[in-house]
Structure 1
Amino acid sequence: MTKPLMILIAGPYRSGTGDDPERMAANLAALETAAWPLFRAGHLPMIGEWVALPVLSSAGAAGPLDPLAEQVMYPTAERLLQHCDGVLRLPGESTG
């Protein structure tokens, strides 16, 4: 097998949810459905929220709707992109 790739799984998280936490959780679950096939293929799946949400929590934010989220969510994705070998973009509109 060749070197495993780190693949960023991207798609809607907050977009189109009306900031409804249940819909945001459903969007994250949809992103996560792509993780196993990538892992099974020998790669390392990555989702930005897997990193950003714990960072927000450790900063004392109340969650992804906290004003601090603007300083964490997109910057996390930008930093991850510098380390990922590819992006798997799932369907759906996303402002991120």
Structure 2
Amino acid sequence: MSRPLLILIAGPYASGTDGDPDRMAANLRRLEAAAWPIFRAGHVPMIGEWVALPVLASAGASGPNDPLATDVLYPTAERLLHHCDAVLRLPGASRGADRDVEIARERGIPVYSSLEEIPAA
């Protein structure tokens, strides 16, 4: 049995939404759907938006479409990846998620493409 991993769930959030808040919320729900299976496997799920959205709100931004979002969303995921042990890359076009995978590979941490690939802790 391995130790619990902190696993970043990466996939489309704003990509392909044209800034539509409802579509972004649907994408976030899709990312969050992977959280329980990761937790059930003995790990800690993490999604960058769980950190970035409150940071944006505390900075006075109006939401993920605020100009400040570009200074917060991607950098948050990048900073989180210094603490994460693995990445789960969900399907769908996303520059941010592709960058998360690139950073993970540079760091030499596992990148999973399905929940089934994640070993139990």
Q: TM-score, normalised by structure 1?
A: 0.98
Partner residue in 2 for 1:10: 10
Superposition CA RMSD, Å: 0.7
Match of 2:22, SS state, is: helix
Matches within 5 A, 1:56-95: 56-95=56-95
Q: Distance in 1 between matches of 2:3 and 2:95?
A: 32
Name the amino acid aligned to 1:71.
Answer: D
Correspondence 1:44 to 2:44: yes
**Bigger relative contact order, structure 1 or 2, given CA contacts below 8 A and separation 6+?**
1
Residues paired across the two proteins, number: 96
Q: TM-score, normalised by structure 2?
A: 0.78
Displacement over 3 Å in runs of 4+: none
Following superposition, the deviation at residue 2 of structure 1 comes to: 2.8
Correspondence 1:26 to 2:26: yes
Q: Which residues of structure 1 form unaligned runs of 5+?
A: none
Partner residue in 1 for 2:119: none
Identical-pair percentage: 77
Q: Which residues of structure 2 form unaligned runs of 5+?
A: 97-121
Q: Distance in 2 between matches of 1:55 and 1:20?
A: 20
Following superposition, the deviation at residue 3 of structure 1 comes to: 1.5
Match of 2:95, SS state, is: coil
